[in-house]
Amino acid sequence: MDLGPHAGFIVTAYAAAIGIVAGLIFWVILDRRHLTRAVDELEAQGITRRSDRAREEKA
């Protein structure tokens, strides 16, 4: 596809957009992984929240 004389700007703009979106997606995914791992660690140590405990007692 011929992008004309300003092809560099078009490609850079799309690359920047892809980079920013990728950054956002990585942030969300990595944050989730870190948080769930920390929560699982604490639960393994026996610390549970009140509502989780209530659910366990009901079960």
Partner 1 sequence: MALIDLANPSRFLALADRVLPWLAAATLFAFALGLGQAYVAPDDYQQGATVKIMFIHVPSAWLGMFAWGIMSLAAVGTLVWRHPLADVAAKAAAPVGAAFTLMCLVTGSLWGRPMWGTYWVWDARLTSVLVLFLMYLGVIALWRTIDDPARAARVVAVLTLVGAINVPIIKFSVEWWNTLHQSASVLRLDGSTIHPAILGPLVVMIVAFTLLFLSLHLAAMRNEITRRRLRTMLMMRADAAAGH
CA angle 51/56/59 to nearest 5° reads 125
Quick check: 54 binds partner 1 (CB under 8 A)?
no
CA angle 33/36/51 to nearest 5° reads 160
Quick check: 53 binds partner 1 (CB under 8 A)?
no
**Spatial contact of 51 and 43, defined as CB atoms under 8 Å apart:** no
Q: CB of residue 7 vs partner 1: minimum separation in angstroms?
A: 7
Residue ranges that bind partner 1, judged by CB under 8 A: 1-7, 9-10, 12-14, 16-17, 20-21, 23-25, 27-28, 31-32, 35-36, 38-39, 42-43, 45, 47-49, 51
